[in-house]
A = this chain, B = another copy of it.
Amino acid sequence: MIPSNGLCVGLDVDLSKIPLHLRGRADAIVAFNEAIIGATRHVAACFKINLAFYEQYGREGIDAMYATRELCGTSYVIADAKRGDIGNTSAAYAKAVFDDLRADAVTVSPYMGSDSVGPFLAVPNKMVYVLALTSNAGSHDFQRCMVDGEPLYERVMRTALAWERRADIGFVVGATHAAELAALRSSFPDAPFLVPGVGSQGGDAATIRSANGTGPAVYNVSRGLLYIDATEDFATTVRVEAERLAALLA
């Protein structure tokens, strides 16, 4: 099952950025996320839980991550984990994100190859977004290395789509690379894309939506939505901005 097309709301919690009136509270993370989820779920195609932002707060952060997943309810949830290890270890990560966290999809790194991704694909009815061309500047270092006349990120995509269970494979393609995304969409018309980097990272919503055309895609906004208003009425501001972005990205 892939998410509907449109806006993905990235729940990248950062206690130094949430509204002041919430900061002192013991349940600050959950209270903030509850407000964000409530303000956006009517227009969000899915939510993305980035595990790093919870792990950074230790055991309390992990508890808040599980609570946040419960708050997402029946909405589609992507665990942005970028995991990948040898087979038995990837199987343990798959259990963590799919059985324990109950995510619908996960992001994984392709560097360790097919048997590092396989255990995630082996879980039925889950999507696996493989990193292809990421949104950051460091994407130039290795992802664009030319391999037999094609960039590594394209080699990764072609290779992955030859694996078993390829129907459950999607790709992470950053919003900061509109021209490359348009070319990839042309080469892989049916592959689901998870497109991060809209907003704070520089990706423009209308531009990237146009570059993708009609293929299946969700576009993630995190900082550019969550922290646009630090007042007590932040949820109203977030709601309006989410509706604007969702309309652009539909």
Q: Which residue of B lies closest to A163 (CB)?
A: B141
Q: How far is the CB of A12 from chain B (nearest CB, A)?
A: 8
* Distance, CA A111 to CA B138, complexed state (A): 9
- Choose among A58, A84, A86 the residue with the greatest number of B CB atoms under 10 Å from its CB: A86
Q: A131 an interface residue at 8 Å Cβ cutoff?
A: yes
* Distance, CA A185 to CA B134, complexed state (A): 31
Q: Which residue of B lies closest to A96 (CB)?
A: B55
In contact, B152 and A140 (Cβ under 8 angstroms): no
Which of B55, B56, B113, B134 touches A143 (beta carbons < 8 Å)? Answer: B113
Copies of this chain present: 2
Q: Which B residues are in CB contact (< 8 Å) with A139?
A: 112-113
In contact, A116 and B138 (Cβ under 8 angstroms): yes
* Distance, CA A147 to CA B85, complexed state (A): 23
A 52-67 contacts with B by CB, 8 A: 52-53, 55-59, 61-63, 66
In contact, B96 and A56 (Cβ under 8 angstroms): yes
* Distance, CA A203 to CA B216, complexed state (A): 43
Q: How far is the CB of A200 from chain B (nearest CB, A)?
A: 9
Q: How far is the CB of A59 from chain B (nearest CB, A)?
A: 6
Q: Which 10 A-B pairs have the closest CB atoms?
A: A113-B138, A113-B141, A55-B96, A52-B92, A56-B92, A58-B100, A115-B138, A56-B95, A86-B136, A145-B147
Known: A53-B92, A57-B100; 13 extra A-B contacts, CB below 8 A, are A12-B89, A55-B100, A58-B100, A61-B96, A80-B85, A111-B134, A111-B143, A112-B136, A112-B139, A113-B140, A113-B141, A115-B136, A115-B137
Residues in chain A within 8 A of chain B (CB atoms): 12, 50, 52-53, 55-59, 61-63, 66, 80, 82-90, 92-93, 95-96, 100, 109-117, 131, 134-143, 145-148, 152, 155-156, 159, 196, 201
